[in-house]
Structure 1
Amino acid sequence: MDQTAVLSNPNRLLDSLTAQELERFVADSDMVDLKFGQVLAEPGERILHVYFPIDCLASLIVTLESGARLEVSMVGNEGMVGVSLMLGVQESSIQVLVKGGGTALRMSSACFQDHLERSPALKKAIKRYLNALMSQIAQSAACAHFHAVEPRLARWLLMTHDRTQGDQLHLTHEFLSSMLGVRRSGVTVAAKALQSRGLIGYQRGKITVHDRPGLEEASCHCYVADRQIYDRMLERVAFS
């Protein structure tokens, strides 16, 4: 993806920038290709770069001492990686893992902070995104505690589908169990239930969304809550 394409279809957090601000922002960034499984941040590490996904997808993951992992949020082209810099926090508190390869804008943390100081529109957009991200993390915590695996899986697939291009999601049961914080057998049962209803297809690490409206019905209300949060955030960013 070249610079011209990025300027015409940027990360949605950058929609509120003027054409001149966006051009400067892209000029100060590198366009990078991120691969599935690539680690962008580790807990305790200093944040050297921020990432603005264009057509890739990243997971924010908490890992316990036992080695158990749980995805608490995901970031697509509606957000950014490294948002804690907005609060003056220079170290990552969480692991960030690429779960959908693609292109992103990468900027040094120092350059990003400079742009924040020069652009009130960018600062306002990042603040609104930070609030939406905190709400999503809280919603995910409640969902993991109160809801069964099948509706949680449907929600997770919908959130991933929203942030990727096309209906095919390259996901293994092992990866899904890690992201949902449940046993692999539980994911297998839930995926088979969704497949038996014709909502998805699953074959060797590839999930295909066949019936999006049906998948929304199978999901818990947390998906709707998430979507409303981000729709409000992006609307205000775009028109503020």
Structure 2
Amino acid sequence: MGEIRQDMVRNNLLRLMSADSFGRLRGDLEWVELPRAFELSRPNEACPYAYFPEAGIASIVAKSPEGQQTEIGVIGRDGMTPASLVLDAGHDPYSIFMQVQGEAYRIPYASLQALIHEDRDLHGLLARYAQALAVQSAYTALSNAVHHIDERLARWILMCHDRSDGNEISLTHEFLSIMLAVRRPSVTTALHMLEGKKLIYSERGVIIVRDRAALEAFAHDVYGECEKEYERLIGTRP
């Protein structure tokens, strides 16, 4: 691949950082494909690379000692991973992997860490993103505690749609049950309810957003606050 041009990348953080910051990163960036289930980082292990997704969707998943797990964050071309790098935390206890295949620019962890320490503007942008991701996790916890599965599913579909090209999202019922921490039959029932309201189509392994505005109206209280915070901290979402 030739020289990477900032005006041609799709990742929002790469696009919005200063030209000087991008120039410092550019020489260390490497384009890579990210197949489904690819692990971007493992729990409590140092990650060799940081990733700036161009396409696809990654999940941050927390797992209990007894094996219970749920998704606590979603990353697409709006962000980067791992955020622990920005916070100088070394590693975190979560699993981060691709739930929808895509591609990304990656940079060696040590290289980005050194650049963050040298470049105040770069550090500020990525630190604001780490805050936006923390807010997303907080609202996920709130939603899991107080909202019905139908609304939680609507929010999750909207968040994936925000990070996707077109209206199709490739996901299985089994994967949805893990992401929402519910049994598979509950996912099936919730999907049928959203289909009955003509908000989505659900086919084998694929969800198709049919009416985005109506889906947002249905989600109502459960969607939008962390998106507003991203706009405030970072700027226009991709």
Is contact 1:16–1:122 with CA below 8 Å preserved after alignment?
no
**In the TM superposition, what is the alpha-carbon distance from 1:4 to its structure 2 partner?**
4.2
**Partner amino acid for 1:219?**
A
Give runs of aligned pairs for residues 96-107 of structure 1, distance below 5 A. Answer: 96-107=96-107
Counterpart in 1 of 2:14?
A: 14
Aligned-residue CA RMSD (Å): 1.9
**In the TM superposition, what is the alpha-carbon distance from 1:5 to its structure 2 partner?**
6.0
Deviations 1:139-166 (A, max 9, x none): 1111001110000000000000000111
**In the TM superposition, what is the alpha-carbon distance from 1:218 to its structure 2 partner?**
1.4
Q: How far apart, in 2, do the equivalents of 1:69 and 1:23 lie?
A: 39
Counterpart in 2 of 1:36?
A: 36
Counterpart in 2 of 1:168?
A: 168
Equivalent pairs, count: 237
Is contact 1:168–1:209 with CA below 8 Å preserved after alignment?
yes
Counterpart in 2 of 1:132?
A: 132
Which region of structure 1 is more displaced relative to structure 2, 157-166 or 5-14? 5-14
Q: How far apart, in 2, do the equivalents of 1:21 and 1:88 lie?
A: 19
**Partner amino acid for 2:50?**
V
SS in 2 for 1:221: helix
Is contact 1:152–1:220 with CA below 8 Å preserved after alignment?
no
**In the TM superposition, what is the alpha-carbon distance from 1:16 to its structure 2 partner?**
3.5
Is contact 2:21–2:122 with CA below 8 Å preserved after alignment?
no
Give runs of aligned pairs for residues 136-155 of structure 1, distance below 5 A. Answer: 136-155=136-155
Is contact 1:132–1:229 with CA below 8 Å preserved after alignment?
yes
> TM-score scaled by structure 2?
0.93
Is contact 1:199–1:214 with CA below 8 Å preserved after alignment?
yes
Is contact 2:57–2:75 with CA below 8 Å preserved after alignment?
yes
> Percentage identity across aligned positions?
33
Go from structure 1 to structure 2 and tell me whether the alpha carbon gap of 1:68 and 1:182 turns closer, same or farther (over 3 Å shift). same
SS in 1 for 2:43: coil
**In the TM superposition, what is the alpha-carbon distance from 1:12 to its structure 2 partner?**
1.1
SS in 1 for 2:144: helix
Q: How far apart, in 2, do the equivalents of 1:2 and 1:185 lie?
A: 48
Is contact 2:46–2:91 with CA below 8 Å preserved after alignment?
yes
Q: 5+ unaligned residues in a row in structure 2: which ranges?
A: none
Is contact 2:56–2:76 with CA below 8 Å preserved after alignment?
yes
Go from structure 1 to structure 2 and tell me whether the alpha carbon gap of 1:193 and 1:5 turns closer, same or farther (over 3 Å shift). farther
Q: How far apart, in 2, do the equivalents of 1:204 and 1:110 lie?
A: 41
**Partner amino acid for 1:177?**
S
